[in-house]
Structure 1
Amino acid sequence: MTPQIPTRRALLRLASATALAALPLASRAGDWPERAVRLVVPSAAGGSPDAVCRLLANELSKSLGQAIVIDNKPGASGNIGMVDVTRAAPDGYTLGYGNVGTLAINKALFSKLPYDPDRQLVPVALLGYVQNALVVRKDLGVHSVAELVALAKARPGKLTMASAGNGTTGHLSGELFKTLTGTSMAHVPYRGSPQAIQDLMGGQVDLMFDNLSSIAPHIQAGRLAVLAVTGAQRSALFPAIPTVAESGVPGYDVVAWGGIVAPAKTPPAVVERLNAAVNAILATPAMRERYAAIGFETLTGPPQWLWERVARETPLWADVVKRSGAQVD
């Protein structure tokens, strides 16, 4: 057979295809997104991060014209979910919810993280922050922080303190509380807030620090007794509830924050479009109200604001971990 010689037109088509393939992803980001986008939430369904992300995903899917699929990957203090994000293709079709635990606390809590947030992730948007609440089972017999401290000192090591997991702000809120009050309580970590809350209401554990986003409905329904909130100021959602600092623990101040991250080398054009879309959503009065209803205070700004928050709080949480002796139980 006589070999066929490529025509000039075929050669031009081949050259064009080759050139297009060689273009950086950023130059082709104008077509993004052409299919569903996965948002990895490194905690259980029904918890605070899940609630925050589902509110955003619903509106973001409308803005981008594609489905935003929530993928809950709890476990190992959020490490499992974050590893998933770092290993994903940097094409804009996998995002992650990064928070104070996975981006800052875990650096001090784990001797060796299975991912490097500073090198393997890029910031997309800082969404906001939420306070924690200190709640106890209703039949514990305490009605204030002072009464809880007195009971804990009378029964050293006997009270059980649940949390949504090792390294969460619920865990570290409790460790800081124990350090500043000179008390000893047994930490009981769970794989997310929902099961911990159920066991607290059922009397299997005594108390818990948890994000208002997940614990607020149970406080409002009267299923748990709330003693205090953990921020520097009272919560707009529960203005009658004092802060831990007001309740006799000066210097106590803890809030949980989070934002959207993407794998390193995600096209800047995609990051910019996502940041603009998220900011536009969070700026609407309707969304601010919906987030306020679960105790989450929204923020809008450039991607770098998330990394600036990480840089500012990483040494602070490292100090809390060191002083408290917090460990991965």
Structure 2
Amino acid sequence: AAEWLSQAQKAGDKLSYASPGVGTVAHLGMELLKTKAGIAPVHVPYPGNPQIITAMLGGQVQLALLPPAMSAAQVSAGKLRAIGASSSGRSPVAAEVPSLSEIGIKDYQLEIWNAVAAPASMPAAVASRLSALVSDIVRSPDMRSRLFQQGWQVVGSSPEGLRNRIESDTQALGAIIRSQKIELN
């Protein structure tokens, strides 16, 4: 994977990457990767990840940030190559894939996450109870297993932890949006 980084740096804008559209996590994540890795592939938006995989298999694009569960079959078959996980360390969902940090791309972390949100006006006691119920559900062995099979890892957090995560991601991705001058059409 480290040799890939060297080749991608030398290729400049001769490489292209796909995302499921301008402003998506995959688009912003690749723009962040470009700045951290010193690479310059050109963005090509597609309608969705299945179309991206088809384009990669057909050689129309060379790079994409894809969910591990969506790309696992093609990677296992040797049709796509997993370069690195965008998480801070190896992902339990794809433990054989090194993190991007492991291949020499420092200070890069991007994780796609889901959360349950409620109106800010919800009473604190109700929000706390709802948070505890959701946590109990997603941490149950059956639900953990079901989510893992779909490529999700249960992490869980508190309302304060979620607020911190949103602020952190907003700051990091907002900086990329501003520096790369990304605009929705």
Please tell me the TM-score bracket, short chain as reference.
Answer: 0.7 to 0.9
TM (norm. structure 1) is: 0.49
Is 1:228 aligned with 2:84? yes
Over 3 Å counting, the alpha-carbon distance change for 1:322 and 1:214 in structure 2 is same
Which is worse superposed, 254-263 or 240-249?
254-263
Specify which of 48, 66, 78 is matched with residue 192 of structure 1: 48
**Gapped regions of structure 1 (runs ≥ 5):** 1-143
The answer to whether the Cα contact below 8 Å between 2:68 and 2:94 also exists between their aligned partners in 1 is: no
Q: CA deviation at 1:177?
A: 1.7
| Candidates 256, 267, 274, aligned match of 2:112 | 256
Of residues 184, 196, 207, the one that matches 2:63 is: 207
The secondary structure found in structure 2 opposite 1:225 is coil
1:1-329 correspondence to structure 2 within 5 Å: 144=1, 146-262=2-118, 275-328=131-184
CA distances 1:102-154 after superposition (whole Å, capped 9, x unpaired): xxxxxxxxxxxxxxxxxxxxxxxxxxxxxxxxxxxxxxxxxx2x333333344
Mapped contact 2:92–2:153 kept (Cα < 8 A): no
Q: Could you tell me how far apart the structure 2 residues matched to 1:275 and 1:264 are?
A: 14
Alpha-carbon shift at residue 187 of structure 1 (Å): 0.5
In 2, Cα distance between the equivalents of 1:215 and 1:167? 21
Structure 1 runs (4+) greater than 6 angstroms displaced: 266-270
Deviation at 1:226, TM superposition (A): 0.9
Determine if contact 1:164/1:210 at 8 Å carries over to the other structure: no
Contact kept? 1:170, 1:211, Cα under 8 Å: no
In structure 2, list runs of 5 or more residues that go unmatched.
none
Q: Which has the higher contact order (CA 8 A, sep 6+)?
A: 1
Distance 1:192 1:264 in 2: 32
1:185: how far off?
Answer: 0.9
Q: Return the TM-score normalized by structure 2.
A: 0.81
Residue of structure 2 equivalent to 1:99: none
Using a 3 Å threshold, how does the CA distance of structure 1 residues 277 and 294 change in structure 2: closer, same or farther? same
Could you say which structure has the larger radius of gyration?
Answer: 1
Q: Tell me the SS of whatever aligns to 2:40.
A: coil
The structure whose residues are more often strand, as a share, is 1
Aligned to 1:94: none
How many equivalent pairs are there? 185
